[in-house]
Structure 1
């Protein structure tokens, strides 16, 4: 019966088109990722595409290793040398590009320094040009200092005293020196993973929304419920079919996306802390790239599973495919309209909504904290626990709701 329910879903032409759309989204994201990789040759001309991946990797590999004080000092000294070079002082655009091309190997490290020495919420490319080698000793202490300064100024009303202490403790708990390596594969993987998660969830909603409402739309519900197993095994088969469709399609497309991105750009840097790259520098999650990847894919699966189980529950309760399809759209897009607010309580609410599971790479960058029983928790573990329990509870709710249906 489960096989019949799965076959019924994919027998529709719209279902097959949906799968093609998802594949097209993966290919398009891959195209954008590859197009974003740039390399400036010794003549100052920009190159893009697959051919430059190896060149960029080779340049950044030369700076791989622990970010010790000596390594930071070397970066600052090299930046000073380039800044004072004839090309940089010439004023000619093409000569300036030649000078900048010499920084490609340590661009990532310069970006960290801009955040570190420029201030918590300040980003000025010119900051690095004013650094001196002696300032290398302040690299790690400065990260904690800028956080404390921000908590005493702009962020003073956003957190309680206990939450502020927690943030500072997390910063102090980061292992130093950080390990740095070429990690373009992981950076690109995380950057576009939310779009893959959201498209897969939305497309799957079209596939799963009709599992429980089809019989009512086709006027065959009376036959289903009057059959011997209509109110038990048939309903269980529908639930199992939905779970199988969600699980198989999600993991096929997510693993396909992962394999293509890391296969093209490389999986180097899996053991790098997420703070070793610009977008993760301010994170309070002391994890590595491979651990963030697990959060992204497992969180994405849990978010997809929860939203689609809720879609199936609405479908079972309303007998309407259209109403059920609206559910994931509301859960994904409504929070986006409310985000960016300066109201702490609203930010806390938005930080625990199910759409956050589809974008765990962003969750680990935010300071969303929750106090439960006197203890402070980050958003990521709470999201996993809350929606795992919710997903488990929705399954019997679907069964009971559809089993008690009356046919008139």
Structure 2
């Protein structure tokens, strides 16, 4: 197994992640499950803090550190078609590469809006993507996985093999081990219809209410992400995807979004799904050092829309992102996976360049209206976030499984669910 240290050639390309710079004491680069077991043994013996990295793109910036160790899974990036819709993917693959590999096969897996995100982090947390209302969260397409637990044991998990551990992997995987391969049931989707729509609304709150209503009334083949910039004259841009290439069905659905007040321009086209996740392939240098707060909303009602408008108008955040769930995401029973938020329709995320107490205060009026949290969009690892991300019954079950599979709390880096972590916070 390759281990890179600060004095070694190549260290500079390994030390940072997308949203943070780091200076780890060593970066371990396993190429197999056996080497992951070896790497875990090494970092546990060192007694230093450690991080687990798949793509290194996450907002929470926990995939690097200063003075500790990093288990970097980038060489475990295979995408293997195993027949039909069955696909096996390594945790170090990035979703843009996955989409390009699957596209010639007429297959796709809904992931996030960035193709630079690694498979491992997203596929153990949730996966809110631009085909989510049609196909569910990324974790909803997961059929089995291989995971190394804190004791170095390798488990093959599914609905019939270690089902409790499989339940935990789908939404809280970072708390119970390191997943070394994922088996997905891909969707038979080759092309989609994608629209990009620009808006300059004169009444942002009214626009947001109309946007929310339009998303909820749209066919479940439609998923829509909205990005709104701050300032006295708000500007917004949306990506709307119809999961399929049936223009007769897609065009009326997409026209709903073009008819919204303030539409300033639009472009629609049939594209392979692989063109949807924005993929740069740029090396990570800590280039996006923003703070983010997030929550889930059932509806974009008048009150919530007004609060979001105030947040942006007053300069409390540089951007608000509103993604869509619902549809197939909400078909899944809340108890089926460790991600239990199956009645909300919108993840709402505020982004601030400076962060800090002023951002926290500005977010609070919106936060008061949130109903749960999707952890992938939250940069503050406060203890309260765990209780927002996992409802009481889910959190109680997670804590029981955490005590069983990680009694020493080895995996405490990513929103630790242990009771001790809550008490210490």
Give the TM interval when normalised to the shorter protein: under 0.3
Larger Rg: 1 or 2? 1
Please identify which structure carries the higher strand content.
2
Whichever structure has more helix as a proportion of its residues is: 1
